[in-house]
Amino acid sequence: MPELPEVEVVRRGLLPFTAGAHAGRLDVLDPRSLRRSPGGEESLRAALDGRLLGAPMRRGKFLWIPLAEAGEAAVVVHLGMSGQVRVDDATRPDPPHLRLRLPVIAADGREAELRFVDQRIFGGWWLDRLVTDPATGERIPTTAAHIALDPLHRQFDPDAVHDRWRRSRTRLKRALLDQSLVSGIGNIYADEALWASRLHPERRTATLSRAQGHAVLTAAATVMERALAVGGTSFDALYVNVDGRSGYFARSLNAYGRTGEPCPRCRDEGRDGVIVREAFMGRSSHRCRRCQPRPRT
């Protein structure tokens, strides 16, 4: 499932094929991938055709490609649950679940196709307008303007997040997944950050000390940086980079997807903690029963 590290891997892969590249005619194989694009297929195609593209940008899980000759516009690319952007030679056969195809001529003259593949169609592309984010001065699409800074952003401020947590009545895992409080974290890295900081997903955020708030946010940043360094987390063919290759971080996960296995930390320290899986807000949560005990209510 694409979260911040996986989206960043895609952004880096796209860079040589968008920055200074020219777009061709967009081919829409499934209009549901343009559900969020105002004006639909026609508007997006008109905005892209023949246009000079800029360097792809990212905040949290949102990725966008600025349209260089119109400093006000960008194409937002969201991978949703199962989205991929592949850079392929046009002669290669269409992969399954291909939804969108955009021919490009890169700045160095190479020709390629950007192929949006999305099995579950939770992701999509849409045309958006760029506005200035008052907090950072950055240009950002209107549909991402409400998204908080992510833990890998230069100006990310854990104290500000902790302050908001202190004033909220919500629980920690929900707060980690709320993209308007801190962005980029999904179910996998939330469980990993909670495990690393020994905190229970249902802990009330208002009861967290500043040190605990820092611990879980630092853990999120660390685990996402480590995942990024090895190409992200792939469980199956649902997440791959622009060349179609999987990331290697799944083998480094300590809690997510490890139901019934010994907790690695407990095992190292001679205890017998086991990873359990529990439903929480309609999602599965994985934690060590021993070192992430349920808080007293």
Partner DNA sequence: AGTTCCTCCTGGTTGC
Partner DNA sequence: TGCAACCAGGAGGAAC
Query: What's the closest the beta carbon of residue 13 comes to DNA, in angstroms?
Result: 19
Please confirm, yes or no, whether 61 is among the known catalytic residues: yes
Considering beta carbons, is residue 146 or 271 the nearer one to DNA? 146
CB-based burial label for 29 (10 Å; 0-12, 13-18, 19+):
middle
Instruction: Name which of 24 and 141 has its Cβ closer to DNA.
Output: 141
Q: For the CB of residue 187, give the shortest distance to DNA in the complex, in Å.
A: 4
- Is residue 138 part of the annotated active site? The answer reads no
Closest distance to DNA from the beta carbon of 170 (Å): 5
Name the active-site residue from 2, 151, 158, 201.
2
Closest CA to 7 of 97, 65, 102, 78: 78
Closer residue to DNA in complex, CB, 88/150: 150
Task: Quote the crossing angle between the two packed helices 210-229 and 4-18, to the nearest 10°.
Answer: 50
Q: Which is nearer to DNA, 229 or 281 (CB)?
A: 281
Of how many residues is the chain composed?
Answer: 297
| Between 17 and 256, CB nearer to DNA | 256
Given the complex with DNA, which of 20 and 80 has the nearer CB atom?
A: 80
Q: Is the Cα dihedral 200, 201, 207, 211 positive or negative?
A: positive
Closest approach of DNA to the CB of residue 49, in Å: 26
State in angstroms the smallest separation of the CB of 39 from DNA: 16
Instruction: Provide DSSP, 183-242.
Output: -S--HHHHHHHHHHTT--TT-BGGG--HHHHHHHHHHHHHHHHHHHHTT---SSTTS--T
Residue 96 a catalytic site member: no
Least distance to DNA from the beta carbon of 109, Å?
Answer: 34
Residue of 139, 204, 283, 290 with catalytic role: 283
**Helix or strand or coil: residue 155?**
coil
Cα 55 to Cα 36: distance, rounded to the nearest angstrom: 22
3 in active site: yes
Provide the binding-site residues for DNA, judged by CB under 7 A: 1-3, 32, 35, 60-62, 78, 80-82, 96-97, 119-122, 143, 146, 168-171, 174, 177, 179, 186-188, 279, 281-284
Give the H/E segment covering residue 158: helix 158-166
Tokens of 80: 């949703």
Q: What is the CA radius of gyration of the chain?
A: 20
d(CA 200, CA 291) in angstroms, rounded, equals 9
Partners of 262 in beta bridges? 274
Among the listed residues 11, 58, 61, 287, the single catalytic one is 61
What SS3 class is residue 286?
Answer: strand
> Which residues form the catalytic set?
2-3, 61, 283
